[in-house]
């Protein structure tokens, strides 16, 4: 047991290059609920169930195409249908996709779609209902499903 007792997570912060562009991406495209800006700051709060995510505009934007935080990412749980819908939508809107993984073993198992937001942050949509032995269609095959 640790020396301190953390009771809950208040919020996570994601650094972004352009707050308005990111608000559209996270709100309109990903469907997170916008709770509004924090006062007159360049910080915008979004909600996913009981979780809060702050989009914090960077003072010095980074090149979204070359920026990398290695394996760091933020993951969202979705249904199988939402993951298919995301593949279609990301293909249509040219959202950069990193990869699709079918993880049969480990702490978080399932179908994992990794992609990038407009600021180069790696995100994940995870369908936890997929399990070993189920079909493993590619992103392109999922995007073509009726």
Instruction: Look up residue 118 and give its DSSP letter.
Output: T
Distance CA 36, CA 39 (A): 9
Model pTM score: 0.92
Q: Which of 99, 129, 101, 128 is nearest to 116 (CA)?
A: 99
51-57 and 12-16 strand pairing? parallel
Sheet holding 110-116: strands in order across?
Answer: 74-77, 122-127, 110-116, 97-103
Can you tell me the mean pLDDT for 22-38?
97
pLDDT of residue 146: 66
Answer yes or no: is pLDDT of 86 > 90: yes
Q: Which of 9, 51, 62 is nearest to 26 (CA)?
A: 51
Work out the widest C-alpha separation in the chain, in whole angstroms. 53
Structure confidence at residue 71 as a pLDDT band (50, 70, 90): confident
CATH 3.10.180.10 applies to domain 72-146: yes
In which residue ranges of the chain is CATH 3.10.180.10 found?
9-59, 72-146
Distance CA 17, CA 26 (A): 13
Structure confidence at residue 142 as a pLDDT band (50, 70, 90): very high
Q: Which of 95, 88, 86 is nearest to 122 (CA)?
A: 95
Can you tell me the mean pLDDT for 90-113?
96
CATH class assigned to 9-59: alpha beta
Count of Cβ atoms closer than 10 Å to residue 84 Cβ: 21
Structure confidence at residue 134 as a pLDDT band (50, 70, 90): very high
């Amino acid at each position: 047991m640790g020396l301190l007792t953390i009771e809950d997570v208040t919020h996570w912060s994601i650094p972004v290059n352009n707050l308005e562009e990111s608000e559209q991406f996270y709100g309109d495209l990903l469907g997170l609920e916008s709770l509004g800006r924090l006062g007159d700051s360049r910080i915008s709060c979004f909600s996913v169930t009981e979780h809060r995510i702050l989009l914090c505009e960077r003072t010095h934007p980074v090149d979204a195409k070359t920026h990398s935080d290695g394996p760091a990412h933020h993951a969202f749980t979705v249904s199988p249908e939402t993951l298919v819908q995301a593949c279609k939508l990301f293909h249509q809107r040219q959202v950069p996709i990193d990869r699709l993984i079918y993880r049969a073993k480990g702490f978080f198992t399932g179908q994992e779609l990794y992609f990038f937001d407009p600021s180069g942050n790696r995100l994940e949509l995870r369908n936890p209902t997929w399990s070993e032995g189920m079909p493993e269609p590619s992103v392109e095959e999922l995007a073509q499903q009726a």
